[in-house]
Amino acid sequence: MLAGIAAAAGLTPVRDVPHRVWAMSEFAVQDGPESENPYDPDLLALDAVFRSPGGREIRLPAFWYTAYARELKEDKEEVLTPAGDAGWRVRFTPVEAGEHRYWLEATRDGQTTRLGEGAFDVGEAAPGARGFVRIEPQAKRYFATDDGQPLPLLGECCCWHGKRGTYDFDEWFANYRPSGMNWTRLWMCPWAFGLETVAEERTRYNQNMAWQLDHTLDLAAREGIFVMLCLDYHGIFNVDPDMWGGNNWWPKHAYNQANGGPCANQNEFFTQPEAERLYRKRLRYLVGRYSAYPSLMSWQFFNEINNVFRFLKPADVVAWHDRQSRWLDGNDPYRHPVTTSFGSRGEHPPMWKLDSMAFANWHLYLNWAGNYRHPAAMCEDVATRFQRDYGKPILISEYGTSGLGWKPEIDPHLRGLQQAVWGGIMAGTAGTSMPWWWQAMHRDKVHGRIWGPLARFIEGTGLGGPAWQPIPLPKPSGDLELGKPVADGQPFTARLACSGNWGQKEGGVVVLANADAATGSLHVFLHGNDKPDMRLPCRIQAELGANAVLTVHVNSVSNGAELEVVANGQRRFHRPFPDKDGKTLVNGEYNESVRVELPPGRQTIELRNPGQDWLALDWVEIAGALPCEALRPANEPTVLAYAMSDGEQALLWIIDPAFNYPGGAHEPEPKPIRARVELPGLPDGDYAVEFWNTWTGQATGTVKARSAAGRLAVEFPEFQVDAAARIRPER
């Protein structure tokens, strides 16, 4: 017998409720062993082992627990007060009905003692219980639960609370189920849910925050919400304040040598053996305390770890993720899927090629999304590419029309939000894109308006099963061609904003038919000879009258930039723009408008940089253009169409190209249009086509259609902005 360990130790249920399959049971350890530091398994490791009627053994670490009572002071701030004595707890979720036996094992100084044992009965799962979340094993595109049901994920980030603490989640999560939402993401960070973020918490984990996470996961379970739990975020490695004025936690970090930890620098977090030993202790505690929650969908090691690659060696980060994932796979008895996440400025294929990364997470904000300008197209490309390259589910687990704030002024009718939410499902990712800015969305009560209609549209279809996959459909190019000038048309002026960011790979051509019909976009950066592979065209096609003038507003330059304006192959302007401040920043260094006179007639106007490095533009203006007929290329689809099918039925979603966000974002009264879409791949026969309003979540009518030679034509009645259809065989 080891000192301080009682052979009669046993488990007492904390709640007087029946034990059932897929329902977490919690036990207090009676007469548990003592330890100088109960969080450190090197001093004492206490485990509970459960044996099912079928002989399966589940081993779970016991964890040290402090109970709290909560109070909301003046409806503004949560106050926690310890409630009762601290002690050992065990959480266990049965996966099999019948009599279960258990025993406790305590290990100290390399010696293991078997403590008290007992037995209890487990009943069948309650109606509606689903079990744990798994990767759908056949197609590996979606998730499923232990009851065999598919789990398309509809949700948002809801990563931390404010001063109201868990009371925030009481209010927020209450909106989820009525809106058809079933998924969220939580962060363990220094200001919420973080257990080991400062020196005094190193292997002495923060019990206040652990209790708050308990409450939130319990609440999620009651509301039918699955949680991706993010264990760390990139800011723990930053040393300088970021654009938000914070997130520079490394000087305070528990593992920093300056605070008594083992790491001389940030990269040693991923390479230093003592750091890994400390981290494994934390993982063990997390497994003991949280792995038995069926509401825990997955472990996510980091948020946007690539954002701090400047401090780290990516190969070391990838190798670390592989080691920790494999450790979890061997020590988490419920084998929750494991992942991490990357911000939109990087993908880093070696991470997603790891077999130990069960699924992929990528974050995309339209103002930082490189060549992605439209939410639905973004979802389609990410879904297609990640499935092709990595063969695992992909989630766009952060999204925003802007990464700088909620900004309703750029999406006043929520079309940019709605198209990302629907696009995630209808383009073949494993769930809706997961918007950020949750506090503002809850304040503005957008959940029922955005997620509710989608949830009702897919209900009962079985979407997420192994046979479901996207049907690639042709899209309109968005291009216009200039027709003949309009008779008696009056000259007009059009100012074209330059948009996008570094590394963008599309855009750069504008066709200017009239003041209200300018298709395409111009890019901010005119790259010079230093980066020929990053050059995009900067080209405007227009019919010009007499005395037409082009104005180019130059913001900033890098070293050796030049601006050249060419009209129909003839140079009309050329000037060097020396680097005034020696900085490679877009900072208004020039803030200068350049005026260029242009000849009349049909002109292709090109802006070039024959110099060395980049030149950044704010806007380009054409004065004296003449209106022309705007023609679309012949035989081109008239709408953007996205479809999913399981080979027997299909879901179809279409968008009016004029309202492909950011197109038409500010238009308050969209014009109704009609559309025809040919859907391939369905067996020949008769089908019921049920049309849906994507904003009310209501079916608007049903027609019959026939698939012949593998193609079914869907004739949409009038709609505004977007519409959807459910297509099912007639029995």
Q: Are residues 345 and 241 in the same domain?
A: yes
Q: Are 332 and 287 in contact (CB under 8 A)?
A: yes
Judge if 150 and 22 occupy the same domain.
no
Q: Is residue 475 part of a domain?
A: no
Task: Note the helical H segments in 190-348.
Answer: 207-222, 268-271, 273-290, 314-331
Q: How many domains does the chain have?
A: 4
Rounded alpha-carbon distances, angstroms, from residue 253 to 260, 486, 499, 702, 705:
10, 67, 38, 60, 63
Domain CATH for 369: 3.20.20.80
Q: Are residues 620 and 660 located together in one domain of the fold?
A: no
Residue 66 inside a domain? The answer is yes
Structure tokens at 626: 């003449």
- Calpha distance 251→505 (Å, rounded): 38
Q: Which of 196, 198, 207, 22 is CA-nearest to residue 122? A: 22
- Identify whether residues 47 and 169 lie together within a single domain: no
Q: Are residues 226 and 313 in the same domain?
A: yes
- Out of 94, 122, 150, a domain closes at 122
In-domain check, residue 17: yes
- Distance, CA of 105 to CA of 122 (rounded, Å): 22
User: Is there a domain that residue 465 lies in?
Assistant: no
561: β partners: 577
Q: How far from 381 is each of 354, 388, 523, CA to CA, in Å?
A: 21, 11, 21
Return the H-helix or E-strand segment holding 135. Answer: strand 133-135
pTM of this structure: 0.86
Q: How many CB atoms lie within 10 A of CB 205?
A: 21
Q: Which two tokens stand for residue 575?
A: 């000037």
Domain that holds residue 722: 640-729
- Same domain for 579 and 663: no
- Structural domain contains residue 470: no
Kindly report the CATH number assigned to the domain that includes residue 73.
Answer: 2.60.40.10
Segments of 558-683 assigned E as strands: 561-567, 570-577, 592-598, 601-608, 615-626, 628-631, 640-645, 650-655, 673-680
Residue 725 in tokens: 């259809």
- Give the Cβ contact number of residue 245 at 10 Å: 7
Q: Which of 631, 652, 687 is the last residue of a domain?
A: 631
At 522, which CATH number? 2.60.120.260
Contact 635/386 with Cβ under 8 angstroms? no
Q: Note whether residue 668 is domain-resident.
A: yes
Mean pLDDT by 10 residues, the chain (731 residues): 52 94 97 95 98 96 97 95 95 98 96 94 96 97 97 98 98 96 98 97 98 98 97 96 90 98 98 98 98 98 95 98 97 98 87 97 88 90 96 97 94 97 98 98 96 98 97 84 91 88 78 75 91 89 96 96 96 96 92 97 96 95 92 84 98 95 92 96 97 98 96 97 97 78
For residues 212 and 114, state if they share a domain: no
Give the torsion sign (CA, 597, 601, 607, 608). negative
Question: Rounded to an integer, what is the distance from CA 619 to the centroid of its chain?
Answer: 31
Which spans in 185-262 are helix H?
207-222
Residue 100 located in a structural domain: yes
User: Which CATH number goes with the domain that contains 689?
Assistant: 2.60.40.1500
Residue 127: cis peptide before it, omega within 30 degrees of 0: no
Asked which of 400, 427, 458 is the last residue of a domain, the reply is 458
Q: What is the 3-state secondary structure (H, E, C) of 211-226?
A: HHHHHHHHHHHHCCCE
396 with 415, same domain?
A: yes
**Could you tell me if residue 144 is inside a domain?**
yes
For the record, the structure tokens of 19 come out as: 């034990």
Q: Residue 674: how many CB atoms within 10 A of its CB?
A: 12
pLDDT of 3? 43
Cα separation, 367 vs 524, whole angstroms: 12
Rounded to whole angstroms, what are the CA distances from 542 to 410, 477, 478, 507, 598?
A: 28, 19, 17, 17, 11
Residues 589 and 644 in one domain: no
The whole-number pLDDT of residue 2 equals: 44
Report how far apart, in Å, the C-alpha atoms of 499 and of each of 372, 457, 521, 539, 548 are. 12, 35, 7, 14, 24
- 677-686: b (≥16 Cβ within 10 Å) or e: bebeebeeee
Three-class DSSP category at 633: coil
Token pair in block for residue 183:
């998924």
Same domain, 623 and 652: no
Strands 469-471 and 640-645: antiparallel
Strands 570-577 and 68-73: unpaired
Pair (205, 76) in one structural domain: no
User: For residues 639 and 654, is the Cβ–Cβ distance under 8 A?
Assistant: yes
Pair 607, 567 in one domain = yes
